[in-house]
A and B are shown apart, each in its own frame.
Chain A
Amino acid sequence: MTRTILFLVGGVLLGGIIHIAVVFMVPYYANRDAWAQMDRFGPDDQFHVLRLPEAGAEPLTSLDPRMLHAVCRFSLAGGPVRITANLPDEFWSIAIFDRRGRNIYSLNDRSAERARLDLAVITPVQMAQLRQDPPGSLETAIVIELPLNEGFALLRAFVSDDTEVSRATALLQTADCSGSL
Chain B
Amino acid sequence: MRLLIDIAIAILVATSIGFSTAWFAVERGRLFGAVVVGAWTTWPDAGGPDADPYSVALLARSGEVPLGAGEGLAFKAVADSEGDLLSGNCVYSVAGQTPSARLWTLTAYDRDGHLMVNAARRSGFHSREILRRPDGRFEIVVSQNVGPGNWLPIAQVENFQLILRLYDTPLTTASEIVDVDMPHIERVRCG
Contact = CB atoms under 8 A, between A and B. Distances in A.
A152 B149 CA distance: 40
Given A23-B22, A23-B54, A101-B64, A106 B70 contact: yes
Q: How extensive is the interface on chain A, given as a class?
A: 35 or more
A105 B17 contact: no
Nearest to A152: B65
Contact of A63 (B15, B16, B65, B72): B65
The 6 closest A-B pairs by CB, nearest first: A18-B18, A106-B68, A15-B17, A11-B13, A14-B14, A106-B70
29 contacts: A12-B14, A14-B11, A14-B14, A15-B18, A15-B21, A16-B17, A17-B14, A18-B15, A18-B17, A18-B18, A24-B53, A26-B26, A27-B57, A32-B62, A33-B60, A54-B123, A55-B123, A61-B62, A64-B165, A101-B47, A103-B67, A105-B70, A106-B69, A106-B70, A108-B72, A108-B167, A111-B70, A158-B126, A161-B129
Nearest to A27: B60
Interface in B58-81: 59-72
A38 to B, nearest CB: 9
Given A16-B17, A100-B60, A108-B168, 20 more contacts: A10-B14, A11-B9, A14-B14, A15-B13, A15-B15, A19-B22, A22-B22, A23-B25, A23-B53, A32-B61, A54-B123, A55-B116, A60-B64, A91-B168, A101-B59, A103-B47, A103-B66, A106-B68, A108-B71, A161-B129
Indicate the member of A11, A24, A58 with the most B CB atoms within 10 Å. A11
Interface residues on B, range: 35 or more
B73 to A, nearest CB: 11
Interface stretch (A1-9, A79-87, A132-140, A172-180): A1-9
Interface string A91-130: 1010101001111111110110000000000000000000
Contacts of B25: 19, 23
Main secondary structure of the interface of B (DSSP, over half): mixed
Contacts of B7: 7
B182 interface: no
A42 interface: no
Nearest to A37: B63
B97 interface: no
B111 to A, nearest CB: 12
A64 B74 CA distance: 10
B71 A56 contact: no
